[in-house]
């Protein structure tokens, strides 16, 4: 590889990594317009393994906006990112795939400031398919593969003696 090709590859890696981070931030912050902008025009997302829907980015953003009202506090952590460029047929370096693990702690809405509301935590793996567009890298597909979840336990009243 020439230094120019290596530099271009590094720049693409940074851009793809940044897009995955922006995805997490958009969901955590409830910025559904930013979420939609991360996708290519034909972009789709599939949250069915986590009890959600599959559809185009606009449909899924609407569903997420309603669903996330239950969880006013969210913090996506996306780790162990594995990136490959050009894995689609007839590709010339304008596509990428990322597999990344996630853990997603969220807090249920409460009657007060939320500090006593119970937590919900889930984890799994994302499969991102990306495409280079005139606007830069965009998501073509996001598939959530939820592997586990921990629901809040009912509060136990102390035994009266």
Reading the block at residue 143, the tokens are 């598939």
Beta strands 39-46; 136-150: pairing state: parallel
Q: What is the pLDDT of residues 129-143, one digit of tens each?
A: 999 999 999 999 999
CB-based contact 111:31 (threshold 8 Å):
no
What integer is the mean pLDDT of 1-6?
Answer: 66
The most distant pair of C-alpha atoms in the chain lies apart, rounded to whole Å, by: 77
Question: What is the per-residue pLDDT for 62?
Answer: 98
Average pLDDT over residues 31-42: 98
- State phi, psi for 156 to the nearest 5 degrees: -95, 130
Q: Is the pLDDT of residue 26 over 70?
A: yes
Domains of the chain: 3-150 (3.10.450.50)
Strands (E), 24-118: 39-46, 54-56, 73-74, 77-85, 95-107
More confident residue, 114 or 31: 31
Please tell me the predicted confidence (pLDDT) of residue 157.
62
Q: What is the pLDDT of residue 30?
A: 97
pLDDT at 154: 61
Structure tokens at 25: 């931030």
- State the burial class of residue 89 (Cβ atoms within 10 Å of its Cβ: 0-12, 13-18, 19+): exposed
Question: Between 78 and 110, where is the model more confident?
Answer: 78
Please provide the average confidence, as pLDDT, over all residues in the chain: 89
Please give the share of the chain, as a percent, with pLDDT higher than 70.
83
Give pLDDT tens digits for 69-90.
Answer: 999 999 999 999 999 998 555 5
Phi, psi for 24 (deg, rounded to 5): -60, -45
pTM over 0.85: yes
| DSSP β-ladder status, 54-56 and 73-74 | unpaired
């Amino acid at each position: 590889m020439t230094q120019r090709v290596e530099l271009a590859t590094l720049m693409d890696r940074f851009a793809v990594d940044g897009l995955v981070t922006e995805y997490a931030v958009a969901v955590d912050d409830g910025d559904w317009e930013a979420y939609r902008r991360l996708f290519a025009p034909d972009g789709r997302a599939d949250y069915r393994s986590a009890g959600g829907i599959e559809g185009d980015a606009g449909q899924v953003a609407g569903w997420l906006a309603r669903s996330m009202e239950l969880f006013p506090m969210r913090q996506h952590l996306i780790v162990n990112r594995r990136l490959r460029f050009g894995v689609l047929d007839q590709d010339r370096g304008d596509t990428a795939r990322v597999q990344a693990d996630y853990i997603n702690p969220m807090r249920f809405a409460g009657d007060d400031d939320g500090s006593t509301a119970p937590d919900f935590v889930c984890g799994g793996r994302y499969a991102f398919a990306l495409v280079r567009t005139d606007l830069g890298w965009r998501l073509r597909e996001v598939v959530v593969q939820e592997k586990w979840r921990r629901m809040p336990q009912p509060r136990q009243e102390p035994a009266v003696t």
